[in-house]
Amino acid sequence: MNILIVRVSSLGDVVHNMPMLADILRHHPDAKIDWVVEEAYASMVRLNGGVRNVIPFALRRWRKNFFSRQTRAEMRNFHDALRRQPYDVVFDTQGLFKTSLVMRMARLAPGGKRVGLANATEGSGYESISRIFHAISVPVALHTHAVQRARLVAAAALGYTIDSPADFDLRMPDMVSGAQPAWLPAGPYAVFFHGTARAAKQWTPAYWVQVARGLAVRGLPVLLPWGSPAERRDAERLAAQMQHAHVLPKLSLMEAVTLAQRAALVIGVDTGLTHIAAAFKRPTVELYCDSPRWKTEGNWSPGIINLGDCGSPPGVAEVEAAVAALLDPAEDASACAG
């Protein structure tokens, strides 16, 4: 069985889509799965052990030079890639008009079917017009977790039930020449994923400083990545008030994934890199300040602690307690037993 998944963005949503592959392969071990994804996230999808081919989608870049010769050639190549392999099932798990068009362009095998979402979940960017290209539209509850949503769509179409925890099946990213990057400490470290595009989702700067103070007592350095000039300035302001804190250079996506995957502790707001750390089952504290926790919270590992909720950011004491629970689990268990 040849299967195509269309889930092009965003980074966190792409990661949350991955457990459906492990589900499919558990129930249909001979399935071959390809994935259409925005080109910026193609390297992330390639880390999933269940993916055969990644088909990069460059709509964001194509829009800027739509009539250029190079863009038209790339679009033709993309169309050819969609048509090269006949698919038995094409899944659109994003539910947008643009993703449904990609679904429609894909070549179906005889008896093949196109499958997508029948409705939105609360706060999603779902577009009901996407259903025009579905053979099967799968309904989901209004408050369905982002990971569960994709898993339910695949299970309904392929005739099985979800009977296991979410498995992201992520491999370690390959480092260039196998060398240790100069910015990556040799010993244990903590990462603060403090930056996010929406200001309301950020955590109070003074709170980061207070948490870093406790980590300094533990001898755990704090690494501060950034993704934009504004986030870099924020990181520099935070580092100036912290002991043993380091502002990192500009990282590629795979470097950022390596940073998350090797961390002894990750504390982060509701953003893609925090969700990547959780997918790797690193000790992770997810901070929800202005987004609904039910939607994306890491609920597949006891090593992930989710704090706060939409309009109710967590306090320092909650985060410090979570850090203690993750870094001192034996002591925490002893206290509970006492």
Domain ranges of the chain: 2-158, 177-337
pLDDT per position as a tens digit, 309-324: 999 999 999 999 999 9
| Among candidate residues 335, 330, 192, 319, the one with its CA nearest the CA of residue 268 | 192
CA distance 122 to 139: 13
**Are 2-158 and 177-337 the same fold in CATH?**
yes
Q: Which percentage of the chain shows pLDDT scores above 70?
A: 96
Q: Would you state the pLDDT for residue 329?
A: 80
For residues 208 and 269, give the distance between their C-alpha atoms in angstroms, rounded to a whole number.
Answer: 11
- Least confident range from 103-107, 109-113, 317-321, 330-334: namely 330-334
Q: What is the mean pLDDT of the chain?
A: 95
Give the C-alpha distances (Å, rounded to integers) separating 64 from 67, 72, 167, 263.
9, 12, 37, 37
What integer is the mean pLDDT of 199-218?
A: 97
Give the C-alpha separation, 281 to 303, whole Å. 6
pLDDT beyond 70 at 21: yes
Whether pLDDT at 19 is above 90? yes
Residue 97 has pLDDT above 60, yes or no: yes
pLDDT, residue 330, reads 66
pLDDT of residue 174: 74
| pLDDT tens for each residue of 119-166 | 999 999 999 999 999 999 999 999 999 999 999 999 999 999 999 999
- Tell me which architecture the domain covering 2-158 has in CATH: 3-Layer(aba) Sandwich (3.40)
Mean pLDDT on 276-285: 98
pLDDT above 70: residue 23:
yes
pLDDT of residue 181 exceeding 90: no
227 CB-near residues (< 8 Å, 6+ apart): 195
Cα distances from 89 to residues 138, 149, 182, in angstroms, run 14, 17, 45
Query: How many Cα atoms occupy the beta-carbon half-sphere of 148 within 13 Å?
Result: 20
The whole-angstrom separation of Cα 170 and Cα 45 is 9
What is the identity of the amino acid at 151? R
pLDDT value of position 335: 42
Q: Strands (DSSP E) along the chain, which ranges? A: 2-6, 32-38, 51-57, 87-92, 108-117, 136-138, 190-193, 222-224, 245-247, 265-269, 284-288, 304-308
Alpha-carbon radius of gyration of the chain: 21
Per-residue pLDDT at 333 exceeds 70: no
* pLDDT at residue 177 greater than cutoff 70: no
Does the pLDDT of residue 306 top 60, yes or no? yes
Arithmetic mean of pLDDT, 5-19: 98
| Share above pLDDT 90 across residues of the chain, in percent, rounded to a whole number | 93
pLDDT of residue 331: 60
Burial of 276 (0-12, 13-18, 19+ CB in 10 A): buried
Cis, bond preceding 312 (omega within 30 deg of 0): no
Q: What is the rounded average pLDDT of the residues 185-202?
A: 95
Q: Residue 178: which pLDDT band, with cuts at 50, 70 and 90?
A: low
User: CA angle 260-265-267, nearest 5°?
Assistant: 80
The residue to which tokens 């889930």 are assigned: 7
Residue 202 scores a pLDDT above 90: yes
The CATH number assigned to the domain with range 177-337 reads 3.40.50.2000
